[in-house]
Amino acid sequence: MKLVITTNEIIAMRNAGCSLLARLAYFDVIRSHMDTATRIVGITSPISYRSIREDLYVEPVRGRHTDKSGSPTIKAIRSAIENIIEAGLLEKRTAESSLVFFLQFATLSHLGHEMTNRSKNAIIFNHG
């Protein structure tokens, strides 16, 4: 799977002063749950604050400070999500019991269309 990160996403994160946790939550978790046909997260693949927290878990490793491992708190996850919304990257479409977001700047270009390395408005990461 290819994850295409647009420069608009990066610029929005930087301009809003998004925290490292907000960036990780967006790029590492939320984008991986995005329905590539609709740019919506949370309908075909349900997502919650708890699942985001679990996905951001860092395994304790010998020699790593204990404050660098574990999971962020639910409060920190909520704050990170609000930070992403304020940056304009997420539009809330939340149902009562689950989180649903529209990803404003995410690209659909990885749906079978090959992008060249010359693309000036996207960074491409190959996963798995």
Q: Strands 40-41, 90-92: parallel, antiparallel or unpaired by DSSP?
A: unpaired
Q: Strands 34-35, 40-41: parallel, antiparallel or unpaired by DSSP?
A: antiparallel
Six token digits for residue 87 = 């940056």
DSSP-derived letter for residue 114 is P
Can you give the CATH number for the domain in which 84 is found? 1.10.10
Tell me the pLDDT tens digit for each residue of 69-116.
789 999 999 999 999 999 999 999 876 667 999 998 888 754 444 444
Tell me the pLDDT tens digit for each residue of 26-70.
999 999 889 888 999 998 888 999 999 999 998 887 876 767 778
CA distance linking residue 115 with residue 4, whole number of Å: 9
Instruction: Give the count of domains, the chain.
Output: 1
Q: Quote the pTM value.
A: 0.78
Range of the domain at 18: 2-126
Q: Cα angle vertex 50, ends 100, 71, to 5°?
A: 130
